[in-house]
């Protein structure tokens, strides 16, 4: 910088103002900020993605068991002696199915055990059997192998959701039973069993006595074609152990089982803290190992209505209810919303009144949905006396809720149509209405449709307002029309989440999954519409 004049800029600053060290530091600082911002943004997106994956994976893993249902195949006696073909409606089909099951377990004699055994199959068995016989009378007249849905507890156990069951392990010593049934003594060749019992929560008593209460894991010994549940163990002479046990399945003989011939099965979850007893587990395992139990696609869940029995509960009623409600919502909200948007955007004068209407529409979009429910209750049900729990009322309430969303979206997309299109039409003498309906509306339609679909998706997931108008009722029948009592998917989910039965947990997740699938489909349609009809001008 020898020449003072040439090294100075126009306003007297040195020309190196953009190249000196201070400038480089400033530039570096700018890039640093940019990098920071980029990383922060990426981290935020990653976090959101992580939560989404977590949510979805939780729901999906919970829902998957509900997609299948276990059936047991039983030889059902439908001979004329049991079922009178002339009086099909008077037959107790449940009893016939239960007989077929108890016939599989001749050892079970006590009334209490028989009741337990009968509880393995669903209480809806008779209904299914009656329906299938009505559809195919050829089943009558003999014994048919018929797949009966299992009760929810049995089903959950087989899916591994009720109890923690270890695998069968061979016992490396001899086992000698005192009798073949009832409460018996078992003599084990060594004391390994004692250590095992201690490890599984047995209570120490006097003289080295170990008691396996219902608070400890269940130890089941299977040998000689039967199963014995151990209740207590005490040391005996020569290092042997004498155990007290209850026979769950009768043994063939009192012959001692050699080392490796008896098997120990540990059910880690104590009997007191699970919903299924040792006996039921043993019966189910027997049926399972006989190859009689089969896991099938859960058509009951997808194609039936609600039920208090988890294994009989389905979403179809709620899906139909949701569908009917959405039709009403769409039929009301779309035409009114689009008309209102067109009027406000294209025709209404800009004055205080329309400004107020605008502000209020925007505010309505932010009103809590339950308020719309209260309004529906007060106006539609109490004042107009419309039917309770009906899709028509639900649809009207949701339409009120969706209206502002549709109006706002429609106005935005009408505003996005370039004014040059309006001018072009007006310039060749099109009237206002012709301009709007021939040119502006077709161009705005993709945006309007997108907004409508998103509004509908919003309405589909809405629960609170429908609780207020009685759509939370327990409805078994699948609604056949707009005025039939019905419930909708989110409310069904809400109700199932509330039920105490363990079987409803999976149903809840599966129903959420179905709702999500519908929402994803609707959003995908919105995206496709936007892509497909997006115009450039």
Partner 1 sequence: MNIMTEAGVEQKLSSATNAPLIKMKGEKVSVHYGEKRALFDVDLDVREHQVTALIGPSGCGKSTFLRCLNRMNDTIDIARVSGKITLDGEDVYDPKIDVVELRARVGMVFQKPNPFPKSIYENVAYGPRIHGLARSKAELDGIVESSLKKAGLFNEVKDRLLESGTGLSGGQQQRLCIARAIAVSPEVILMDEPCSALDPIATARVEELIDELRQNYTIVIVTHSMQQAARVSQRTAMFHLGYLVEEGATDKMFTNPDDKRTQDYITGRFG
DSSP β-bridge partners for residue 187: 176, 242
Shortest gap between Cβ of 532 and partner 1 (angstroms)? 14
Shortest gap between Cβ of 434 and partner 1 (angstroms)? 6
Task: Dump the DSSP string for 448-485.
Answer: HHHHHHHHHHHHHT--HHHHHTTTTS---SPP-STTS-
Query: What is the largest distance, in Å, between two alpha-carbon atoms of the chain?
Result: 123
Shortest gap between Cβ of 362 and partner 1 (angstroms)? 21
In this complex, which beta carbon is closest to partner 1, that of residue 211 or of residue 354?
Answer: 354
Shortest gap between Cβ of 442 and partner 1 (angstroms)? 9
Token digits of residue 128? 């299914």
Instruction: Please name the residue that has the structure tokens 């007060």.
Output: 378
In this complex, which beta carbon is closest to partner 1, that of residue 403 or of residue 417?
Answer: 417
Give Cβ neighbours of residue 420 (< 8 Å, ≥ 6 apart): 537
In this complex, which beta carbon is closest to partner 1, that of residue 421 or of residue 525?
Answer: 421
In this complex, which beta carbon is closest to partner 1, that of residue 18 or of residue 438?
Answer: 438
In this complex, which beta carbon is closest to partner 1, that of residue 137 or of residue 419?
Answer: 419
**391-415 vs 316-342: helix crossing angle, rounded to 10:** 40
CA distance 326 to 256: 69
CA distance 155 to 150: 6
Contact in structure between 392 and 470 (CB atoms under 8 Å): no
Shortest gap between Cβ of 454 and partner 1 (angstroms)? 24
In this complex, which beta carbon is closest to partner 1, that of residue 294 or of residue 423?
Answer: 423
Shortest gap between Cβ of 411 and partner 1 (angstroms)? 16
In this complex, which beta carbon is closest to partner 1, that of residue 443 or of residue 476?
Answer: 443
Alpha-carbon distance values, 148 to 72, 138, 280, 297, 507 (Å): 5, 18, 16, 14, 20
In this complex, which beta carbon is closest to partner 1, that of residue 127 or of residue 426?
Answer: 426
Contact in structure between 403 and 458 (CB atoms under 8 Å): no
Task: Enumerate binding residues for partner 1 (CB under 8 A).
Answer: 349-350, 418, 420-431, 434, 438-439, 443, 535-537
Shortest gap between Cβ of 438 and partner 1 (angstroms)? 7
In this complex, which beta carbon is closest to partner 1, that of residue 397 or of residue 425?
Answer: 425
DSSP β-bridge partners for residue 245: 184, 230
Instruction: Please name the residue that has the structure tokens 């599984």.
Output: 200
Shortest gap between Cβ of 415 and partner 1 (angstroms)? 15
Length of the chain: 537
Shortest gap between Cβ of 437 and partner 1 (angstroms)? 11
Alpha-carbon distance values, 332 to 230, 372, 400, 449, 452 (Å): 68, 15, 9, 15, 12
Q: Using CB atoms within 10 Å of the CB of residue 176, give its burial: 0 to 12 exposed, 13 to 18 middle, 19+ buried.
A: middle
């Amino acid at each position: 910088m020898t020449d003072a004049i040439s090294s100075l800029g126009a306003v007297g600053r040195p020309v190196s103002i953009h190249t000196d060290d201070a400038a480089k530091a400033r530039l570096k600082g700018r890039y640093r900020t940019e990098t920071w911002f980029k990383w922060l943004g990426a981290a935020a997106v990653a976090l959101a993605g992580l939560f989404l994956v977590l949510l979805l994976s939780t729901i999906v893993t919970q829902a998957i068991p509900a997609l299948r249902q276990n059936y047991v195949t039983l030889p059902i006696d439908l001979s004329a002696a049991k079922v009178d073909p002339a009086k099909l409606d008077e037959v107790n089909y449940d009893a016939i199915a239960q007989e077929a099951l108890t016939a599989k377990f001749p050892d079970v004699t006590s009334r209490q055990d028989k009741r337990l055994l009968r509880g393995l199959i669903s209480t809806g068995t008779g209904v299914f059997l009656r329906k299938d016989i009505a559809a195919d009378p050829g089943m009558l007249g003999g014994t048919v192998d018929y797949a009966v849905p299992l009760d929810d507890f049995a089903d959950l156990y087989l899916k591994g959701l009720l109890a923690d069951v270890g695998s069968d392990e061979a016992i490396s010593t001899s086992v000698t039973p005192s009798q073949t049934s009832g409460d018996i003594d078992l003599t084990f060749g060594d004391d390994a069993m004692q250590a095992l019992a201690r490890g599984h929560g047995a209570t120490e008593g006097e003289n080295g006595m170990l008691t396996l209460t219902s608070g400890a894991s269940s130890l089941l010994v299977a040998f000689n074609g039967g199963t014995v549940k151990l209740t207590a163990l005490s040391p005996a002479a020569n290092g042997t152990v004498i155990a007290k046990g209850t026979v769950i399945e009768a043994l063939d003989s009192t012959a001692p089982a050699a080392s490796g011939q008896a098997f120990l099965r540990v059910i880690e979850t104590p009997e007191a803290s699970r919903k299924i007893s040792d006996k039921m587990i043993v019966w189910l395992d027997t049926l399972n190992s006989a190859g009689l139990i089969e896991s099938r696609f859960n058509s009951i869940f997808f194609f039936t209505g609600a039920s208090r029995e988890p294994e009989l509960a389905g979403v179809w009623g709620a899906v139909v209810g949701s569908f009917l409600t959405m039709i009403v919502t769409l039929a009301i909200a779309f035409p009114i919303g689009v008309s209102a948007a067109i009027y406000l955007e294209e025709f209404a004068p800009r004055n205080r009144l329309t400004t107020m209407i605008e502000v209020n529409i925007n505010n309505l979009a932010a009103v809590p949905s339950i308020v719309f429910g209260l309004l529906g209750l007060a106006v539609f049900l109490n004042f107009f006396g419309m039917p309770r729990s009906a899709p028509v009322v639900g649809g009207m309430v949701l339409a009120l809720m969706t209206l502002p969303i549709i109006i706002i979206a429609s106005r935005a997309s009408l505003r996005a149509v370039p004014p040059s299109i309006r001018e072009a039409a007006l310039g060749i003498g099109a009237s206002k209405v012709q301009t709007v309906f021939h040119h502006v509306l077709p161009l705005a339609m993709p945006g309007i449709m997108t907004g409508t679909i998103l509004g509908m998706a919003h309405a589909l997931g809405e629960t609170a307002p429908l609780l207020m108008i009685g759509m939370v009722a327990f409805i078994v029948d699948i609604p056949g029309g707009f005025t039939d009592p019905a419930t909708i998917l989110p409310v069904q989910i809400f109700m199932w989440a509330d039920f105490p039965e363990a079987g409803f947990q999976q149903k809840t997740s599966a129903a959420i999954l179905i709702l999500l699938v519908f929402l994803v489909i609707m959003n995908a349609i919105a995206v496709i519409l936007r892509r497909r009809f997006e115009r450039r001008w």
